[in-house]
A and B are shown apart, each in its own frame.
Chain A
Amino acid sequence: MNNTYLSYNNIVSSLGFDSPTVIEKIRNGESGLKLVADTSIFPTPFCSSLINTERLENKFANLGNIEEYTRLEQMLIISLEATLKASKIKLTDRVGLIISTTKGNIDTLDPSHPMPEERAYLGTLGHIVKSYFGFKTEPIVLSNACVSGLLAISVAKRFIAQGTFDHVFIVGGDVVTPFILSGFNSFQALSPQPCKPYCKQRSGINIGEVAASVLVTKEKENLAPEAVAILGEGTCNDANHISGPSRTGEGLYRSIGSAFKEAGVSAVDIDYISAHGTATIFNDEMEAITLNRLQLEKTPLNSLKGYFGHTLGASGLLETIVGMHSLYNNTLYSTLGFSELGVSQPINVITKSTPKKLAIFLKTASGFGGCNTAAVFKKVTP
């Protein structure tokens, strides 16, 4: 069977505008989360990881842009520009584009936004990115709640396997908006402090903003040094509830099973798990139950939500990219915010950056609508 690889990549975030810078800060345990008191976004102070607007706009102006783009478009374009450039791939009809987002330019629905509300159509967002770079194929926008970023990798791999494309560029992102904050707040899911995944004191999520991009390719030549092969992946629904995670973790259990089956691996082959870990009571508990059902409770695991918050449509992609670098650097990164295990079943939470020889990692994500995605990645040995 032919492998598909994740190669060149970029992260635009509060911790930096390229992957190595961001990874270095994660290694040092630096969080992008801060208390934000800005009543134009939310009536009360909230904890978030926001990209510095001035820095974003300067960077975008440096690309030589004169037309007007939204905040999210600027983030996506800056990230994808870097990945495209590094890959040196020519945009032909064999190159696909996937945009992973939950809400896109949802901020333009606000009448006070300078752009027309038509900008909120996700297809429009796809075409803006497509035209900016001159992609020759129709953009594929994936909006599948909080698994979007990881599922986008599956989707890219599937289209490559089916012969639709040879290469696919994925760019994912969402912005922190009153729309999102008010909604999660109505769910009483927001933590006013930096989130504490899997911790006894956890009290909910923080929302953050990131754009991340990666090249998915079938060509083993010219890969980035940190490239990984996608061994297997799967997405399964809980068939249980549209907002609450399944108590037994059925969908996640089946997703991991589906990914393992395709990858031809079992629990003992996994060196580390990059989990979802939103720091809500129910999500983290559900994950612990699932991992125990799969005998993965001793495998080192992290959640990166303590660095960036939950970055929605970007999160699965962002965390996969960090996982790639984790393998490349042979280092396990810690779960920031965690101090004392607060789930009913044992799991092996990574609490400090630790050197370890790594080859294979499992990435998981779960979201509203009962969706769950899992994927297994393996280091490419040169």
Chain B
Amino acid sequence: MKRQLLKIKAYASIANNRVSLNDGIVFSEEKNDLSAFLKQAYKSLDTNYSKFFKMDALSKLGFLAADIILKSTQKEPDLERNTALVFSNSASSLDTDRKHQKSIQDKDNYFPSPAVFVYTLPNICLGEISIKHKLYSENSFFIFNHINTGYLFDYANNLILSNKADEVLCGWVNCDGEDYEAFVYLVSTEGTIPHTKEEILKLYNIK
């Protein structure tokens, strides 16, 4: 059965002022605020995608983490890939929700911004990744109090076993004020790390 054969092909994380791909650090920066750190990471990783600057912090985090994995596993640049996106976190889009709320709080200075409001949905982050990588694929965004490797594991398996996706980019991408972390991994039929709940948790914990 296909289920036994599934692997984790690659993984990436952004946390504690470091960006890692598989077992190597690809960018790190001394103490800095999140916004400046993400901007430096973007530049250092040669992302070259000016829409990045318009994104909210959650989208930037998810976008960067996904981008380094998808670039590192890309076979042919123009070949369409059926990679599903399954992300989760605990704060949804609250970081941006608070900004929008602030803009409507004062009735005498009431100027809600469409460019802020559009990011008050966590799945916008999946949309940003889909646009950059031309992924016309399955999207789901879940909210749990803590990473739930069991649910992510079952859901990714099902997407591949039911032929809805060839690969699944799973993740935990959370942004809540200055607290942030991104951990994404690519479930595939190729790779060397077994796709198990234990491995997912292990990789998540070493970030």
Contact = CB atoms under 8 A, between A and B. Distances in A.
Direct contact of A and B (CB under 8 A): yes
Interface of A: 43, 102-104, 106, 109-111, 120-124, 126-127, 138, 140-145, 151, 155, 158-159, 161-164, 178-179, 182-187, 234-243, 250-251, 254, 258, 262, 367-371
A109 B157 contact: no
Nearest to A39: B107
A122 B140 contact: no
B44 interface: no
Given A178-B104, A239-B134, A369-B121, 19 more contacts: A103-B97, A123-B143, A141-B142, A142-B142, A143-B143, A144-B123, A155-B155, A159-B158, A183-B100, A184-B117, A186-B113, A235-B138, A236-B138, A242-B131, A250-B136, A262-B162, A368-B127, A369-B139, A371-B127
B148 interface: yes
Nearest to A233: B164
Nearest to B141: A144
Contacts of A140: 142, 144, 151
A183 B96 CA distance: 12
Top 9 A-B pairs ranked by shortest CB distance? A369-B127, A183-B117, A141-B143, A237-B130, A123-B145, A122-B143, A369-B123, A162-B158, A186-B114
Contacts of B144: 123, 126, 138, 140-141
A369 B157 CA distance: 24
A161 B126 CA distance: 25
Interface in B133-168: 133-145, 148, 150-151, 154-155, 157-159, 161-162, 164
Given A102-B121, A186-B112, A370-B127, A120 B94 contact: yes
A188 B90 CA distance: 31
Interface string B93-132: 0100110110111010010111001101111111110110
Contact of A237 (B101, B114, B137): B137
A368 B136 CA distance: 15
A155 B121 CA distance: 18
Given A159-B155, A239-B136, A126 B143 contact: yes
B188 interface: no
Contacts of B94: 120-121
Nearest to A157: B158
Contacts of A370: 127, 130-131
18 contacts: A106-B101, A111-B105, A121-B92, A122-B92, A141-B144, A142-B141, A144-B121, A158-B155, A159-B158, A179-B101, A182-B103, A182-B117, A183-B120, A186-B112, A234-B164, A236-B136, A239-B130, A370-B130
A5 to B, nearest CB: 17
Contact of A145 (B97, B121, B135, B151): B121
B91 interface: yes
Contacts of B143: 122-123, 126, 141-143
